[in-house]
A = this chain, B = another copy of it.
Amino acid sequence: MVDITLLGTGGGMPTPYRFLSSLLINFKGRKILVDCGEGTQVSMKMAGTGFKAIDYILITHCHGDHIFGLPGLLQTIGNSGREEKITIIGPSGIREVMDGLMVTCKYLPYEIEIIENPTHSISIFDDDLIISTMEADHTAPCLGYSFYFKRSAKFDIKKAESNGVPKMLWNKLQKSEESIEHEGIVYTRDMVLGRGREGLKISLLTDSRPLDSMIDFYKDSDMLFCEGTYGDNGDIDKAVKNKHMTFAEAAAFAKNADCKKLCLTHFSVAMMEPKDYIENATSVFENTIIGEDRMEFSLKFPEEND
């Protein structure tokens, strides 16, 4: 299971009624924050997410509404007692921006590693999660992200017995070891494991135009978090000009990429009630949710209920 908290759903600038778009992924107690505009740490406090377990901070792009909360958050994480390294992943330019921001918080009790514009997927959390990026289409260098949570194969008791694996080795083989030698016989992991199980694909696209060339990257996402800066179909010209999307465009993109579910976020400051425009999305892609600050999702692996 993967837990996700939408910390904010606003774009442009922070307002009294909506935090800036940011989300927190919680996988087995380890956390990944995506984007950090001014106030994100306050929303985290309201959501009670804690600060210490954030291992990765992923930045889509270096516009203020996605990064100005970073110095404050990094200090608050420092005050939480964290001493382990934090890795920040971002687009071209992230290192220069971080060098600038860090002038204001020079003394953190942990190291910061920066990965600028990664060209390969990054495998983390003991290879349980693969983070991939692609180039989005915005007014600044911008990354789209996908998170593939792998699911280990299930223990198969019949297989273990038929392979004559001693019971005392079952747990060890399933959990961590590749192979174990016991009384002169080598037992391998596949002697106790059934077929591989499908993982979970969660993806995110903000801020960007929806290009056909991006569809492959987002294909078959179990859940897509996507910007929907403008709810009104009539705002299409603004969307094109400012390199954003309307609700209808995001919905069409989710449909074309065969996503299972779409959650819209990054709403324009001018749009007080994004829900007023939900039909512009659901008429194109039914399984659409309008994101709200501190909305929580518990996403299960496809076979988690087996």
- Residues of A that sit less than 8 Å from B by CB: 13-16, 38-39, 41-42, 45-46, 62, 64, 67-69, 71-72, 75-76, 79, 96-97, 99-105
Contact = CB atoms under 8 A, between A and B. Distances in A.
Contacts of A15: 42, 45
Nearest to A43: B16
A103 B70 CA distance: 14
Contacts of A105: 64
B41 A41 contact: no
Nearest to A37: B72
B104 A97 contact: yes
A96 B103 contact: yes
A106 to B, nearest CB: 10
A38 B71 CA distance: 9
25 contacts: A13-B75, A13-B76, A14-B41, A14-B42, A15-B45, A16-B42, A16-B45, A16-B46, A38-B42, A38-B69, A39-B39, A62-B104, A64-B72, A67-B104, A68-B68, A68-B71, A68-B72, A96-B103, A97-B104, A100-B102, A100-B103, A100-B104, A101-B101, A101-B103, A101-B104
A72 B42 contact: no
A75 B66 CA distance: 13
Contacts of A101: 100-101, 103-104
* Residue from the set A38, A46, A102 with the largest chain B CB neighbour count within 10 Å: A38
A99 B103 contact: yes
A14 B263 CA distance: 28
A67 B105 CA distance: 11
A159 to B, nearest CB: 52
A13 B72 contact: yes
